[in-house]
Amino acid sequence: MNKKKFHLAGEVALLIVLLINSLGVDLMSKSGFGISTISSVPLVFNIAFPVFSFGTWNYIFQTLLVITLMILKRSFCPGYLFSFVVGIGFGKMIDVHNAWIQALPNSLPLHTIYFLAGFLLVCFGICLANNCMLPIIPTDIFPRDLSGIVKKNYKIVKTTFDLTCLTTTVILSLTILHGFYGIGIGTVFCAFLTGKTVSAIQSFLGKHVEFYRATGKKRVALEKNMRHA
């Protein structure tokens, strides 16, 4: 065990993920530059069918992603069951943050800060989620596990997944709402750069952080836990 590395419990990391990823999504939404590509799909449904909150549409979408993974693996994965619970917690936290973020002041410089802060929070959260050794938010599980299934580099799979979400959002937005909603320059920015940014953060933290399970003996070095360049 490298004593020079900071040791972080996976359970603590997962809690941080729930707090900062939901905050990041809401900050990007507040910016007006376009929400993250993954969240753009449930956002379109929230606008079209407001009977459910944005957070609720998020974990409905996440549930579909987990079901898709199990179909691709052709097996039932018990570990994914807890990810449903995590997904619900993530959706609820989106609604919690959204309640106070709407009170933040509005201006172009501040909106730029909101977007960049939200983008970095989401990327950092994805990196923590990929390495916490616990069932994680389904939207983070999907590209991570899919990269293992198809045996492709994570950032390639992540970028492809984001572009697919972006395309889906455009189609749904035009067919259901007859216009563009939740899509902006920031959404395109996220689609092309989230995977690369997560890999960059992963590489940096891999030199300084080691995860461990507080409820078990398993440990993992960041740089060895995810397929990336």
Q: Which tens digits make up the pLDDT trace of 80-132?
A: 777 777 877 887 888 899 889 988 999 999 999 999 999 999 999 988 988 88
Q: What is the model's pLDDT at position 221?
A: 45
Q: What is the model's pLDDT at position 216?
A: 63
pTM assigned to the model: 0.74
Distance of CA 185 to CAs 56, 81, 87, 112, 122, Å? 25, 35, 27, 12, 17
Q: How confident is the model over 167-187, as a mean pLDDT?
A: 85
**In 63-187, where do the E strands start and end?**
none
pLDDT score of 78 more than 80:
no
Q: Which residue(s) pair with 210 in the sheet? A: 7, 221
To the nearest whole percent, how much of the chain has pLDDT over 70? 92
Provide the 3-class DSSP secondary structure of residue 151.
coil
Q: Which tens digits make up the pLDDT trace of 20-73?
A: 999 998 999 899 888 778 888 888 888 889 888 887 888 788 888 888 888 988
| Residue 1: band (very low, low, confident or very high) from pLDDT cuts 50, 70, 90 | very low
Provide the 3-class DSSP secondary structure of residue 22.
helix
**Nearest CA among 207, 226, 191 for reference residue 40:** 191
Q: What is the model's pLDDT at position 3?
A: 58
| Residue 228: band (very low, low, confident or very high) from pLDDT cuts 50, 70, 90 | very low
pLDDT score of 215 more than 80:
no
Q: What is the model's pLDDT at position 218?
A: 56
Q: Which tens digits make up the pLDDT trace of 178-214?
A: 887 767 888 888 888 888 898 899 888 888 888 888 7
Q: How confident is the model over 207-225, as a mean pLDDT?
A: 66
Tokens of 69: 């993974």
**CB 6, CB 208: distance < 8 Å:** yes
Q: Which residue(s) pair with 212 in the sheet? A: 9, 219
Q: With residue 8 as reference, give the H or E element that holds it.
A: strand 6-9
pLDDT score of 217 more than 60:
no
